[in-house]
Structure 1
Amino acid sequence: MAGSTQTTQNEQLTAPGKAPLQRALFGMTLKQLTALVDGLRQPLFRAKQLHDALYRQRVESIDDISTLPVAVREKLKADGWSVGLPQVALVAKSVDGTERYLVKLGDGETVETVWMPGGDGGEQGDGTPAADEEEATAPPVDEYKRGTICISSQVGCAVNCQFCLTGKLGLRRNLTAGEIAGQVAVVLNRQGMQVGKDRINLVFMGQGEPFHNFDNFMDSVRLMVGPMGIPESRMTVSTSGILHGIDRYMQEPVRPKLAISLNGSNDKVRTAVMPINKKWPIGVLLNVIRQIPLRPRERLTFEYVLLGGVNDSVENAREVVQLLRGLRAKVNLIVWNPGPYMPFEQPDDERVAAFQETLRDGGLPAYIRRPRGRDIYAACGQLKRTMDDERLVTL
């Protein structure tokens, strides 16, 4: 992880004109922690103890780091340090068990993070262990738990997809690596999940475009794959098609699975719902995607939000088949999740079924992602800090 990331985070939290806030330990590398411990004139093995407490034990307070002497803990606090995990300010609970968290960051900004017990079926057919579990019989209750965490990478989003509530926020700022990985630590603690035993899937599909925040996104991946112990094969990053981000992604030795938001079967349709298509049309995007080296069995995922009367016809499906011909790919069909003041409609079940059948007849594996938390605005495209209904619980 780049050494400058944590400096940027801590400078941001102590900007001129603002009351100084505590500096976050969570997000720092072992090298950075070693320098910190050395500055305290402590044995360097204390850095490893601190590193383990932050990422393996996922402590929430410096006082919880029992391997450090009390005097060292007090010195850290006196110098303005804290663990610095994001705080869950509010939670909404769905009838299907999904939980949506309003997560407060160190500077007072907020994002939303979603917990889906059992997942949402998004991994089906992608050729990974997570996909195998989707298709297997559920394990005994006492064997392990399984769930998916949907993570935000930015406060707001600049891509402005027309069907997505997050796009209406605009972009406020990028999240740091510690703030991105910190969402995962907070949810794992809340749900009592055990890394290495329970089946944890992560999707970078919350607020923001991860490839617009590439360095911090990848630093967070390295934190979670390394000290937190979550394999990259259990992570999926979704992008609207940021070509320079995809180019950099291909060079990474450790990388999550990739999902491309397609949402249109031709340039006219895609540009109408995703203005970014003006910059990078479908043909240009697919030419780059065809160069991505895939792992054995791995399939690229294309996400396709079905908008009633806009992109959901059988002819649209035939065009998708032609676009993706020759790619080792699968398509996740997402029935549009409604939001206030959005000028779209959900397609009829018959049109959804016909679209899926057309893709499959054309040789494309196609799956309908089951919506999770739609009643609490936790489903795909609904995250917009709409935490104002009767299902809210103040923590």
Structure 2
Amino acid sequence: MSNYINYLNKNIQVARPLFGLPLDELAGVVKGLGQPGYRGGQLAEAIYRQRVTDLSEITTLSEGLREALAAEGYGVGLPEIVQAAVSVDGTERYLMRMADGETVETVWMPDGDGGERGDGSAAAEDEETEDALAARGDAEAALKYRRATICVSSQVGCAVNCQFCLTAKLGIRRNLTAGEIAGQVAAVLNRHKVELGSSRGNPTPARINLVFMGMGEPFLNYENFMAAVRLLVYMRIPEARMTVSTSGILPGILAFAKETSRPKLAVSLNAPNDAVREAIMPITRKWNIAALLEALGTIPLSRREWITFEYVMLGGINDSLADADELIALVRGIKCKINLIVWNAGPNMPYHEPPRDGVLAFQNRVIDAGIPAYIRRPRGRDIYAACGQLKRTVEDGLVAIGG
């Protein structure tokens, strides 16, 4: 590679990131530089499937075209992992820096957190198969079913203001672009050297699941979120391995219902009635539970598709058996499952965890009513990587990457 392109890569800030552009726009970029449109396909293959991080790595393009792209200010433009923390359970939490200096947090969970259990998806089948093999003591076979889940952010901060969530304390700064959302996944996959898709040298593709449950409310950044989903599908992660969580943004749910292909849906319910929910989730003042359930009813569920209701259990607030009975009455008749999430503590938060026996009693009450209920396994609590703990911090065990 010439000294000139080296100079460009080091001295021109990537003002025009290529990562995030759909395939037709990539074709338009190369056509604008006097190249045939098929070069756009080569560019897409390099940045989305090979996950290159620098123009110099795209050897399918001529040096002249790479120089022309760099001279126009184009670059790959992936988010950068600048800090990381590693939990005792293997979970990793990353501080991701965007081109403008804004940061979000992204989490890598080897073996997932059990959130997919019972939802009828391929991800759930993986977990159930691994559980069965482990129960038989077949560790070698279970190893073939190893998988990981990446928790992805959709906004810098969050505007929803759920009272039990540390991210809410940040407020909202801006939406992430489609490239910044999908780019978090690419950066984490590169860190772990994950290969996606079958090939002669890689006959068994990695089982990577995505949960859009990091910082932000995806349905308040709907267009960019769905554009990111399409990019991730091109990267060979199917929608069936993605779950998006919403606090109950009705316009987003109604738009989601019209998508011909989409991730699985999880709804942060967290209370059995409007009074409790409004106290911990102010968004309820705009869209109450009845309106939320009505909107969910517009989603045409496939045979293997379920709605997941997430229920963060707060000691003394929503964890009694009476609350369980009210929850049962609320969701009865809906094709759903309940994910119980024991509240993950944060500093200066006026809540506490419910006792373990109380959580089990709540779960059993729901199951006895014929509604699947699972306790989600907390991951990375010791490094503030668990549900509701992401707060875009440089503390809590994060260490610099690469100096």
TM bucket normalised to smaller: over 0.9
Partner of 1:333: 340
Q: Where does residue 120 of structure 2 map in the other structure?
A: 127
- In the alignment, the residues of structure 2 paired with residue 29 and residue 287 of structure 1 have an alpha-carbon distance, to the nearest angstrom, of 34
Q: Are 1:267 and 2:268 matched, yes or no?
A: no
SS in 2 for 1:303: strand
Moved more, 31-40 or 299-308: 31-40
Q: Residue in 2 aligned with 1:154?
A: 155
* TM-score (norm: length of structure 1): 0.93
User: CA separation in 1, counterparts of 2:73 and 2:185?
Assistant: 24
1:114 maps to which residue? Answer: 107
DSSP 3-state at the match of 2:276: helix
Partner Cα distance (2:162, 2:396) in 1: 25
Helix, strand or coil: the match of 2:99?
Answer: coil
Tell me what 1:203 maps to.
211
Segments of 5+ residues of structure 1 without an aligned counterpart are 1-18
Question: Aligned ranges for residues 305-344 of structure 1 at < 5 Å?
Answer: 305-344=312-351
Distance between the aligned counterparts of 1:94 and 1:23, measured in 2?
A: 35
TM-superposition CA deviations, 1:178-222 (whole Å, max 9, x none): 000001111111112121201010000000000000000010111
How big is the shift at 1:145? 3.9
Structure 1 match to 2:288? 281
Question: Paired residues, what number?
Answer: 376
Amino acid at match of 1:124: R
Query: Of 45, 52, 56, which aligns to 1:52?
Result: 45
For the aligned residue pairs, the C-alpha RMSD in angstroms reads: 1.4
Per the alignment, residue 189 of structure 1 pairs with 190
- Please tell me whether the aligned partners of residues 81 and 401 of structure 2 are also in contact (alpha carbons under 8 angstroms): no
**SS of match in other structure, 1:136:** helix
| Corresponding letter in the other structure for 1:123 | E
Between 25-34 and 152-161, the greater mean CA deviation after superposition = 25-34
Amino acid at match of 2:181: I
- 8 Å contact from structure 1 (residues 157, 169) kept in 2: yes
Query: Per the alignment, do residues 340 and 86 of structure 1 end up closer, same or farther by CA in structure 2, a change over 3 Å counting?
Result: same
Give the structure 1 partner of residue 74 of structure 2: 81
- Gap regions ≥5 residues in structure 2: 1-11, 134-139, 198-204
**Residue-by-residue CA offset, 1:130-156 (whole Å, 9 max, x unaligned):** 111111135647746410000000000
The reply on whether 1:104 has 2:105 as its aligned counterpart is no
Please identify runs of 4+ aligned residues in structure 1 that moved more than 6 A: none
State whether residues 126 and 145 of structure 2, in contact with CA within 8 Å, keep that contact through their aligned partners in structure 1: no
Q: Which deviates more, 299-308 or 135-144?
A: 135-144
Asked if 2 retains the 8 angstrom alpha-carbon contact of 1:92 and 1:387, the reply is: no
What is the SS of the residue equivalent to 2:81?
A: strand
Query: Match of 1:356, SS?
Result: helix
2:202 corresponds to which residue? Answer: none
Q: Counterparts in 2 of 1:176-255, with a 5 A limit?
A: 176-196=177-197, 197-225=205-233, 227-255=234-262
Cα separation, 2, equivalents of 1:238 and 1:336: 17
